[in-house]
Structure 1
Amino acid sequence: MNEMPPFSRRLAISDVPPNGTWMNISAGEAERAALARDMALPEVRRLEARFHAKPWGRSGLRVTGEIEAEIVQICGVTLEPFPAQVREEVDVRLVDAADLPKMEEVPGAEHEADLDAPDVLDNGGVDLGALAAEHLALGMDPYPRSPAARGEEAASTEEEAPPVETHRPFAGLGSLLNKRDQS
């Protein structure tokens, strides 16, 4: 059974005119709380997306645009929550599953995945909310550091840095040559 995503805005391919359509979406309070829970974040303060959807190929759809979000992440150093901004570009192509080449039709496909292959339309459309949530997750810092932790790290590395010594592998050669010449 398919579970409903926490942030959902369906767009049917049949609703997209030939020259495309612009859509602005934003997550409501309950949707942001559900996204925060799903992404293990203390808070998603804002999630907005501006998408342009237009027909692509014979029966596909191309969605471009960007998402912007204000979230709260947990610092990996101090374990304190801190606010963070996420801005992520979106460029996704979608086609009907029947239009995707079969794995056995593509030589070598069993060994390599086509990373540039289009995604599959979901019941003749796309969920723009789920697409925005996916790009939010992709745009988040996987190793978040608060500004305070960055400052502490810079100060501690400056204080603890050993004096820089230049490695001179042939430094003793001069004295050996001098000794040889004096003999």
Structure 2
Amino acid sequence: MVEGNQENEFSRLFNLELTQKYGTKIEYVANEQECEALASRFLIPRVYELRANCEFRKLSQKDFGDYKLSVNKKAKIIQKCVITLNELNELIEEDFSIIFKIQKNPDKIEDLTKEVEFEVHEEDVEMITDKTIDVGEYIAEYLSLSMEPYPRQENVKGNELGYKIISEVNAISEEKKANPFSVLKELKHKT
């Protein structure tokens, strides 16, 4: 989340207390200025579109957490190929969900030091003190996590820069061939 006075490029505040009995659905769409600001934040040439369909649900007492946010996020962005630096279009579509657990007394030291048991969930669990959350910041963070970390054009072989691109399988087999201790093993049998 954004700390202190830093401004979020895609701020969409939602008060969890406004969640209706059977859930609340809201669509958030980034405008042109927000897309430009997000592109600057992620150090990419452009964010064409960012759209998120969100559903907020109040969880029952038997569930872990108080509220659940489910999001279907779609984005169209441009990144640069890590080899040629040519621009590439990337379409991102991803679902994610977050469970919000409200801390009753965040000022109590014993609450912070007490050991808490919890089950592993597919969803991320976020401890919050205020029922107003910035959904836009969560969407932006998950967008940054779902972007291709090393975008590469399909036809790029690596020869353009004088390097050979190897696959993970080839890298493992080359590691097995080049064992630096194999020389010591040969010396052991000669003595």
- Structure 1 and Structure 2 fold alike (TM over 0.5): yes
**1:35 offset after TM fit, Å?**
0.3
Q: Which among 5, 13, 16 is matched to residue 8 of structure 2?
A: 5
- Gaps spanning 5+ residues in structure 1: where? 158-183
Residue matched to 1:119: 126
Deviations 1:64-110 (A, max 9, x none): 12101000011111111111111121110012233789453217x9x
1:106 is aligned to 2:115:
yes
Q: Distance in 2 between the 1:33 and 1:86 partners? A: 17
CA distance in 1, matches of 2:74, 2:93: 5
Structure 1 residues 104, 139: closer, same or farther in 2, change over 3 A?
A: same
Counterpart CA distance in 1 for 2:8 and 2:129 is 13
| 8 A contact 2:104–2:129 mirrored in 1 | no
Letter in 2 for 1:63: L
Superposed CA deviations along residues 13-50 of structure 1, whole A, max 9, x for unmatched, are 11111211111111000000000000001000000001
Contact kept in structure 1, 2:51 and 2:74, CA below 8 Å? yes
- Give aligned pairs, total: 152
Q: Is the 8 A contact 2:58 2:68 kept in 1?
A: yes
**Does 1:146 find its partner at 2:143?**
no
Q: 1:127 deviation in Å?
A: 1.4
Fraction of identical pairs, as percent: 23
Letter of the structure 2 residue corresponding to residue 136 of structure 1: L
Task: Give the conservation status (yes or no) of the 8 Å contact 2:25–2:53.
Answer: yes
Q: After the TM superposition, which of the residue ranges 50-59 and 61-70 deviates more from structure 2?
A: 50-59
Query: TM-score under structure 1 normalisation?
Result: 0.71
How is 1:85-96 mapped onto 2 (pairs within 5 angstroms)? 85-96=91-102
Given candidates 46, 55, 58, the residue that maps to 2:58 is 55
Counterpart residue type for residue 85 of structure 2: L
Paired with 1:121 and 1:136, the residues of 2 have a C-alpha distance of 21
Kept in 1, the 8 Å contact 2:58–2:67? The answer is: yes
Give the partner amino acid of 1:35.
L
What is the CA-CA distance between 1:57 and the residue it aligns to? 4.5
Q: Does the Cα contact within 8 Å between 2:69 and 2:99 map onto a contact in 1?
A: yes
Root mean square deviation of aligned Cα: 3.1
2:36 counterpart SS class? helix
Indicate how the Cα distance of structure 1 residues 2 and 115 shifts in structure 2: closer, same or farther if over 3 A, else same: farther
Instruction: Pick the structure with greater CA Rg.
Output: 1
